[in-house]
Amino acid sequence: MIKVLIIEDEQLTREMLLDYLESEGFETMSAKNGRIGVQKVHEHRPDLAICDIMMPELDGYGVLKTLHQNPTTAVIPFIFLTGKSNKAEIRQGMALGASDYLIKPFTPEELLGAIAAQLKKQAILKQWFAFESQRISEFTSDQTDEFTNFSLLFSTCPQLKKIFNFIETHYHESISSRDVAKYLGFSSAYLTGLVRNQTGETLNRWIVRRRVTAARDLLLKTDESIQQIAIALGYRSINHFFRQFREYYGTSPQAWRKVNRRHYIFKGRQAS
């Protein structure tokens, strides 16, 4: 059963929402202010939260900011309730990561439509990430396909796009998740959890994957030595490079080059 949390200080509105959603088959819970709402999110992990903006103790913006500090709660769809249709207010909420807005008074159809849209989006996103992660983790001899999958996985998701851009710019500089977190202004733990929740793997694993993917491209298309390639990709130890490459491709860089370079040159001759 889908769990929905209602965070609303007006008792009449709160009870009306609870009664209606329960009649539609949702499991519901409620909080009369933002502080209690944050506690209930951490305790019950709802599938979706509906939150008023103007509340005592902690307003809706404060609730959203707090939840986005934790990777396990940052991904919960969050719908704001407001009695105003102020564009600046809506932009502020969207900038903080709100999924949608409902302006009071709203109809039951509008409420259910907003919930359904967010749950569908969340389900599709999770399925897509799981599918793409599985495809990327499988060995493929096609360099372009592997990089394309990596690009799609990160660059098409707003929460991951900045991470992708930073990795693409700095992957050859021996970066770690701490460097990415510092650049984005997050804690390492939060960023690692966010990427794991969205993709199923840690950020450091994605950085390593990008570096060994680039290494494979250089092994295939250049005559640079193994040591030169390792240095070009920011590895301070060639043994470290060997271990990471073998982990992903099941063989050493030299052996992989020996087998695949012949096929690459042969295809090139055929094309010409």
Q: What is the CATH number of the domain that holds 238?
A: 1.10.10.60
Q: Are residues 103 and 8 in the same domain?
A: yes
pLDDT at residue 229, as a whole number: 94
Q: How far is CA 33 from CA 14, 20, 62, 66, 95, in A?
A: 11, 20, 11, 14, 22
pLDDT at residue 126, as a whole number: 63
Nearest to 47 by CA among 14, 6, 81, 85: 6
Count: domains in the chain: 2
CB of 68 closer than 8 Å to CB of 98 = no
Q: Are residues 84 and 144 in the same domain?
A: no
pLDDT at residue 269, as a whole number: 46
Q: Are residues 146 and 265 in the same domain?
A: yes
Altogether, the residues listed in the chain come to a count of 272
Q: Kindly state the tokens that stand for 262.
A: 């012949």
Q: Which pTM does this prediction carry?
A: 0.52
For the CA atoms of 233, 144, 197, 35, the dihedral, rounded to the nearest 10 degrees, stands at 90
pLDDT at residue 260, as a whole number: 86
Domain boundary among 103, 125, 147: 125
The Cα 102–Cα 8 span in angstroms is: 13
Q: Are residues 169 and 233 in the same domain?
A: yes
Domain boundary among 72, 91, 125: 125
Nearest to 62 by CA among 70, 53, 71: 53
pLDDT at residue 151, as a whole number: 65
Residues 6+ apart with CB under 8 A from 12: none
CB of 180 closer than 8 Å to CB of 166 = yes
- The DSSP letter of residue 50 is E
Nearest to 222 by CA among 267, 268, 261: 261
Q: Which residues pair with 30 in a beta bridge?
A: 6
Q: Are residues 162 and 259 in the same domain?
A: yes
> For residue 45, what is the domain's CATH number?
3.40.50.2300
Which H or E element spans position 104?
none
CB of 71 closer than 8 Å to CB of 193 = yes
Question: Does 89 reside within a domain?
Answer: yes
Q: Are residues 226 and 118 in the same domain?
A: no
Q: Which long-range contacts (CB under 8 A, 24 or more apart) does 151-160 make?
A: 153/129, 153/199, 154/206, 157/125, 157/129, 157/198, 159/74, 159/75, 159/194, 159/198, 160/195, 160/198, 160/199
Q: Are residues 245 and 152 in the same domain?
A: yes
The Cα 2–Cα 25 span in angstroms is: 8
Question: Does 134 reside within a domain?
Answer: no
pLDDT at residue 144, as a whole number: 43
Q: Kindly state the tokens that stand for 25.
A: 């088959």
Q: Are residues 250 and 160 in the same domain?
A: yes
For the CA atoms of 216, 221, 222, 224, the dihedral, rounded to the nearest 10 degrees, stands at 10
pLDDT at residue 82, as a whole number: 85
Range of the domain at 84: 3-125
pLDDT at residue 99, as a whole number: 80
For residue 158, is the peptide bond before it cis, meaning its omega torsion is within 30 degrees of 0?
A: no
Q: Are residues 25 and 92 in the same domain?
A: yes
Question: Can you list the residues of the chain whose pLDDT is less than 70?
Answer: 71, 84-87, 94-95, 97, 124-153, 155-159, 263-272
Q: Are residues 116 and 150 in the same domain?
A: no
Name residue 233's amino acid.
L
Q: Are residues 144 and 255 in the same domain?
A: yes
Question: Does 91 reside within a domain?
Answer: yes
Question: Does 222 reside within a domain?
Answer: yes
